[in-house]
Amino acid sequence: LSTTTTTTSETTPTTTTTTTPTTIPLPTRPPSIVEAEARTARELSHAVRKLTNDLRTCNTRVNAIEEGFQNLYVAHLGNVDGLRKCREGMILAPEDIEKLDDVESLEGIVNPALLEQAQFKEDQKARTKRDEELASKHRTLINSLETRIESLVRRERSWERTISELQARRDLLERREGAWERTIGDLMGEIEVRARREDWWEDMKREMEGRIGALSQIAVVERFGQGPHHVSMTVLLEEGNPSSQRTLIFELAPIELAPHSVHLFLTQIAEGYWSRGTPAIVLNAEHVLQACPHPCLDSVDLGGRTPGYPYEDMRAAGLDVVSFQEYSPAFPHEKYTIGFAGRPHSGPEFYINLLDNTLDHGTLEERKRRMGQAEYGAWAEEAFGGVEEVDVGEKDMMEPYPCFGKLVEGFDVVDEIARSLTRASLPKDDLDDEDDMERVDLDENMLLRPVKIASVTILENYSPGAKAAGVGEKKEKEGGSETTTTDEL
């Protein structure tokens, strides 16, 4: 390639043309706008860093100058303070005082602007120090408050958990309460049903007792007459000694008061259960004398060898116990009355009351009436732990004993038997032999010598103080056969 240059001169009309060869560079890509801006930014950044370094250097120098001046000012203040103390502590000459005044006054020596600036910085340091102290106190107070706030927050969270737990427990208790209410409702329903059933059973029981009493009364009238009925019991105070024979006369209760018990006792006598074998008065419990039919002396409970229930023959005949605990408050357990022993089904053993046992052998209602509410409550609390336990829990066990007769002759005989010795009156040393050792578990109220019952008879046309007519001779027709109603052993 070549470039042609043409030069034209105004002074000369000639034209000279010179041709020189030149080298043309290769075309390059022009820089982009982004690259140009980046290069510019780098240059500006370099310039800024340089200016920043210069400014930092200037500030360092200015701070060093200010710090040096400040130190000088503080030293000056110290010198002035020291001179003032010297002035106060000694008497100076007038010319020294003038020199000191000249030293204290820096006006005209130091630029006032620098003094003001130094005073300002000193005040600023004092304020800064005071502010730092206040800030330290504030930080301490803030830390204390933050600590308390954290404690309160923890307490609040603990309370929230406690409240949540209490709410959960409340919900659980509400659900349980609802279940309990339903259960109580069901139980109340069952209790009402049971109460109605009990009332029905009580009504049926009273009805059955009334029917049994009515049938017993009819049977007594048909077989033994309208009454009153008297029974003679012959006893031997000393076995084998006929002269010790004594007689007890009992008058049975009116049949309208105790028909079932009177019928049972008369039937036992008529069937010979008190006239065969070895019936006897065997127990003396100080408040009663208890008699039993044959074969009670052969039972293990009274020292015999026969185990089990001794009155199976009477049970088979339905004559061992009463069907219910018949009792009439009009015929109570007073002294010398007789009643069937045992609860809840009394019989066939009977006892003679040596004391007025109405409170212990009668009904709870009669005890309440005789003792009064306060005394009855104290008795129930001491004996059973409360009135409710007696009226509810022990009600069945506190049913009365049937009282069906009373002694009308032979009071002295009964008193004599009551003075007889029992096992409880013996010293323990007297029970060392083999036979007695086997009986160590026997009832301590057992008589050492049981009183044998020789005979029990039903009397007809009894009159007090005279022998009854026809004793042992009464015959009764029953089903075409003769039945002896009075037997003697």
Mind listing the pLDDT tens digit for each residue in 292-308?
998 888 888 887 888 88
State the DSSP H helix or E strand holding residue 218, giving kind and residue range, or none if neither: helix 112-224
Per the listing, tokens 């029953």 go with: 478
Q: At what angle do helices 33-89 and 94-104 cross, to 10 degrees?
A: 160
Q: Which of 442-454 are b and which e, b meaning 16 or more Cβ less than 10 Å from the residue's Cβ? A: ebebbbeebbbbb
Coil vs helix vs strand at 165: helix
Per-residue pLDDT tens over the stretch 161-181 = 899 899 998 899 889 888 888
Looking at residue 315, its amino acid is R
Q: How far apart are CA 393 and CA 16, in angstroms?
A: 157
Q: What is the mean pLDDT of residues 139-148?
A: 90
pLDDT digits (tens, 9 = 90+) for 262-321: 999 999 999 999 988 889 999 999 999 999 998 888 888 887 888 888 999 999 999 999
Closest CA to 322 of 295, 342, 302: 342
The answer to which of 11-15, 79-83, 129-133, 238-242 has the lowest mean pLDDT is 11-15
Q: Tell me whether residue 489 is exposed, middle or buried, using C-beta atoms within 10 angstroms of its C-beta: 0 to 12, 13 to 18, 19 or more.
A: middle
Distance of alpha carbon 213 from alpha carbon 168, whole angstroms = 64
For residue 96, what pLDDT is reported?
59
